Amino acid sequence: MSKALLDDLTWRGSIAQSTDRAELEKYLSSPGASLYLGFDPTAPSLHIGNLVALTLLRRFQLAGYKPIALVGGATGLVGDPSGRSAERSLNEADLVADWVDQIRKQLEGFLDFTGKNAAIMANNLDWTAPVSAIEFLRDIGKHFSVNQMLAKDSVASRLESGGISYTEFSYQVMQAFDYLELFRRHNCALQIGGSDQWGNIVAGVDLIRRVEAKSAHALTIPLLAKADGTKFGKTAEGAIWLDPTMTSAYALFQFFLNSDDRDVEQLLKTFSFKSRSELEALFESLKTNPGAREAHRELAREVTTLLHGADQAQKVEVAAKALFGQGEIRDLDIETLKSSLAELPKTRIKKGEEIPSWVDLVTSSGVVESKSAARRVIKEGGAYLNNEKITGEDFTPKSSDLLHGQFLLLRKGKRDLVAVEITD
RNA sequence: GGUGGGUUGCCCGAGUGGCCAAUGGGAGCGGACUGUAAAUCCGCCGGCUUAGCCUUCAGUGGUUCAAAUCCACUACCCACCA
């Protein structure tokens, strides 16, 4: 069981580093083995990058292990220096508390809290807040060597680039304390995380060995690297969020559908719960018939379904098909059109008001930043009304251009769509 | 504390009185090709009531017909010296 899982993870490229593999297998073979993964509240939602490790946690639960999802109500107040070239600015405590709630809800949707290996939700503020500074320094701090702390990547790189505050320097101790606490409370002896968390995780492994004289384990998953060298999950508009009010299901679907061919295999291995043979069939299709983008579509479909449900996933896929239409947009019946446009950003015009000129319409739709930019795009042939290229600057849409008398579909370039709706 | 250097458009970085909305590169955007991909090629890339006008080169004030470029002060950064 444990070996099969680890072999599968290895095939997926989901193991960056681990503590002794044989020992880890042994632990995973023991009854009731559990593992934990922590997230700090640094925003009101998790983002797609967080989903990498979260997916891994879910795999473990599906394989029969007990997952513990930890939200860093305490560590989020301090700030993790890992992967950061400069000091973080501290967030207000009540803001962080609010984010903890939001993230907790997202995590709850991702794991199963029933059954014999029901997931556990934890917040490190629960055990960190009651500890006094003196207790912390005597009981925990005493087990840490500053020499070793300084050697950690997260600290060493910061010492070279402008320094680090005592606050962030202490972060690894707090995370180690978390691991110790979960070890004590739930007998949890495996912590997983992104590969940037290795240093923080082994700090906990060391602490458990020193305090409890027991061995605990660490497993990290590689940070996703894109073929073009840019960071996964970031777009020009910002991060891809799991919260549908921050990144719509439609945008999420499009994000994955538009993946670089070279990245699709790794993305499927990372996020998909399909079997190895199913995935290999998709990789084959990617090679032999890349234009069909079957693998991209499955990827987009599966992630969207996982995060927003099958209904939503189905809807946005149908919408995308209709809007990028093989078919004629005017032929869509009103219901299909309406539900498709519902997935897009919207601009409204009051009924009875004149339809603005083409330049103004493109500007107010928000696909460009200024009128000058709108003029440029129009002149360059990048502005489309109802999927038809319109290059005339002095053009003004007429009421006969309205789809079903109340909608216009604007497009900038190949994929930037906006709906214009005439409202009462 | 002393001396010297720097602060330019999203980023890097040229420009040392007019020809500067400002060279070049990157990012971004549009087009062509294709597959809502990549690569490549072409174009764009401060704003506006767009053949013209307006506002930008850390900030403030000054010199000049004319300043990103000269002067003064302020703020921040860097280097060498103590």
Residue A330, domain member (yes or no):
no
Beta strands of A228-319 (E only): which ranges? 234-235, 238-239
Residues A308 and A251 in one domain: yes
A266 SS3 class? helix
Residue owning tokens 């994955």:
A256
Q: Give chain B positions with protein CB within 7 A.
A: 28-32, 34-39, 43-50
**Could you tell me how many residues make up chain A?**
424
**CB of A168 closer than 8 Å to CB of A199:** no
Residue owning tokens 């291995």:
A269
**Segment holding A57, helix H or strand E:** helix A48-62
Asked whether residue A229, judged by its CB, lies under 7 Å from any atom of the DNA or RNA strand B, the reply is no
Asked whether residue A315, judged by its CB, lies under 7 Å from any atom of the DNA or RNA strand B, the reply is no
Residues A14 and A144 in one domain: yes
Count of domains forming chain A = 3
Q: What is the CATH number of the domain that holds A319?
A: 1.10.240.10
User: Residue A412, CA: closest nucleotide via C1'?
Assistant: B30
Residues A308 and A195 in one domain: no
Residue type, position A214, single letter: K
Domain ends where: A195, A221, A247?
A221
The CB-side HSE value for A191 (13 A sphere, CA atoms) comes to 28
Residues A213 and A242 in one domain: no
The one-digit pLDDT tens for each residue of chain A (424 residues) are 688 999 999 999 999 999 999 999 999 999 889 999 999 999 999 999 999 999 999 999 999 999 999 999 999 999 898 877 777 778 889 999 999 999 999 999 999 999 889 999 999 999 999 999 999 999 999 999 999 998 888 888 877 766 788 888 999 999 999 999 999 999 999 999 999 999 999 999 999 999 999 999 999 999 888 888 778 887 767 789 999 988 889 999 999 999 999 999 999 999 999 999 999 999 999 999 999 999 999 999 999 999 999 999 999 998 888 888 766 788 888 888 888 888 898 999 998 888 899 999 999 998 998 999 999 999 999 999 998 899 888 899 988 899 998 999 999 999 899 999 998 8
Integer angstrom CA distances of residue A52 from A37, A84, A172, A194, A275:
11, 19, 22, 8, 17
- Residue-range definition of the domain harbouring residue A118: 2-221
Residues A13 and A74 in one domain: yes
Q: What is the CATH number of the domain that holds A389?
A: 3.10.290.10
- The three-state (H, E, C) secondary structure of A308-339, written as one string: HCHHHHHHHHHHHHHHCCCCCHHHCCHHHHHH
Q: Distance, angstroms, CA A374 to C1' B61? A: 39
Ramachandran angles phi, psi of A106, nearest 5°: -65, -40
Residues A282 and A314 in one domain: yes
What span, in angstroms and rounded, lies between the C-alpha atoms of A414 and A324? 9
User: Residue A359, CA: closest nucleotide via C1'?
Assistant: B50
Residues A153 and A297 in one domain: no
Q: Distance, angstroms, CA A101 to C1' B73? A: 52
The token duo for A356 is 């603005």
Residues A206 and A75 in one domain: yes
The token duo for A225 is 């690297």
Provide the pLDDT for residue A243: 93
Provide the pLDDT for residue A161: 67
Residue A264, domain member (yes or no):
yes
Residues A153 and A286 in one domain: no
User: Residue A323, CA: closest nucleotide via C1'?
Assistant: B36
Q: Which of A69, A52, A89 is nearest to A196 (CA)?
A: A52
Residues A249 and A216 in one domain: no
Q: What is the CATH number of the domain that holds A139?
A: 3.40.50.620
Residue A79, domain member (yes or no):
yes
Residues A194 and A242 in one domain: no
Q: For chain A, what is the largest distance between any 2 Cα atoms, rounded to a whole number of angstroms? A: 79
Q: Distance, angstroms, CA A372 to C1' B69? A: 29
Domain ends where: A198, A221, A244?
A221
Question: Which ranges in A63-142 belong to alpha helices (H)?
Answer: 75-78, 93-108, 125-128, 133-135
User: Residue A227, CA: closest nucleotide via C1'?
Assistant: B38
What span, in angstroms and rounded, lies between the C-alpha atoms of A401 and A393? 17
Provide the pLDDT for residue A288: 92
Residue A40, domain member (yes or no):
yes
Residue A297, domain member (yes or no):
yes
Q: Which residues of A376-404 are buried (b: 16+ CB within 10 A; e: fewer)?
A: ebbeeebbbbbbeebeeeebebeeebbbe
Residues A272 and A217 in one domain: no
**CB of A388 closer than 8 Å to CB of A401:** no
Asked whether residue A416, judged by its CB, lies under 7 Å from any atom of the DNA or RNA strand B, the reply is yes
Residue A82, domain member (yes or no):
yes
Residue A329, domain member (yes or no):
no
Asked whether residue A412, judged by its CB, lies under 7 Å from any atom of the DNA or RNA strand B, the reply is yes
Q: Distance, angstroms, CA A295 to C1' B5? A: 56
Which residues in chain A, range 351-380, keep a C-beta under 7 Å from any nucleic strand B atom? 363, 369-373, 375-377, 380
Q: Distance, angstroms, CA A372 to C1' B60? A: 32
Residue A268, domain member (yes or no):
yes
Integer angstrom CA distances of residue A143 from A41, A80, A178:
27, 20, 14
| ipTM greater than cut 0.95 | no
The token duo for A299 is 């990827």
Domain ends where: A294, A323, A352?
A323
Asked whether residue A414, judged by its CB, lies under 7 Å from any atom of the DNA or RNA strand B, the reply is yes
